[in-house]
Amino acid sequence: MTRDQNAFIIDRAALEHEVGRVIGAVEAAGPRIRVLGSIGVALHCPDAHLLLPAFERAYADIDFAAYRSDSRAISGAIAGLGYIEARDVYIASEGLRAIFENPVSRIHLDVFYDRLEFCHVIPLAGRLEVDTPTIPLAELLLSKLQIVKLNEKDVVDIILLLLDHELGADDEDTIDVGRIARLAAEEWGLWRTLTMNLAKVTVLAATYPQLRDEQRARVAAAVTELKGTIDTIPKPFAWRMRDRVGDRRQWWTDVDEVR
């Protein structure tokens, strides 16, 4: 299934309302479902999201995460809200992804099951119980930092997350840097993409006139702290062997855009 590049743009308030409607319907049926993407960032950044109008953001869809064991109940609950599922996507992804379209509101939903799989794989086992209505902050940040070809929307979302939340050792309204560092130590490719993008974010944040000097400094400090934590985690033998190959071999999966 493909989606027109000139996708229908929907008001953010309408999408946030739809997030509540979808989560309410799904959880009334029993399963957990959590929002991610730019809407998830806006919902989890109540202070920094005030900057959003200055960045002239546009929204066209909503991304969710859930457990594959709940997929049948989730499909039924979403269908009850007037959505039509693209079953070919679910089948082709072997049950790891589902896409729904509402023919009336023209809202598009993308549901990722068990993991976030873009340029790298971010596992979600046991993580959907940690936060609500979004996935945990560590995964929200990882979902953006794992994109090899960052666009401005991703960079802005990363900046908002770093401005609105401290780095910490748990998920108590902080970004769990230990989880990010451990995942980076498990896969050299993820480490390479994360560190590459952290460097980009520092450079780009310094160019945004929407940010004050103090905000640029906070982003730079957070990037330095996160990179330092990632560097301190011991790396296994397989990671060190892959490091010897470096950039001579592609380390990411090209994103198959199905929207």
Alpha-carbon 106 to chain mean position: 22
Q: Which of 176, 174, 146, 163 is nearest to 219 (CA)?
A: 163
- Tell me how far apart the alpha carbons of residues 118 and 112 are, in angstroms, rounded to a whole number: 10
pTM attached to this predicted model = 0.92
CB neighbours (10 Å) of residue 3?
Answer: 15
CB neighbours (10 Å) of residue 249?
Answer: 8
How high is the mean pLDDT of the chain?
91
**Cα 140 to Cα 34, 160, 176, 221, 243, distances in angstroms:** 11, 11, 11, 19, 26
pLDDT in tens, 149-176: 999 889 999 999 999 999 999 998 899 9
Give Cβ neighbours of residue 214 (< 8 Å, ≥ 6 apart): none
Q: How confident is the model at residue 9 (pLDDT cuts 50, 70, 90)?
A: low
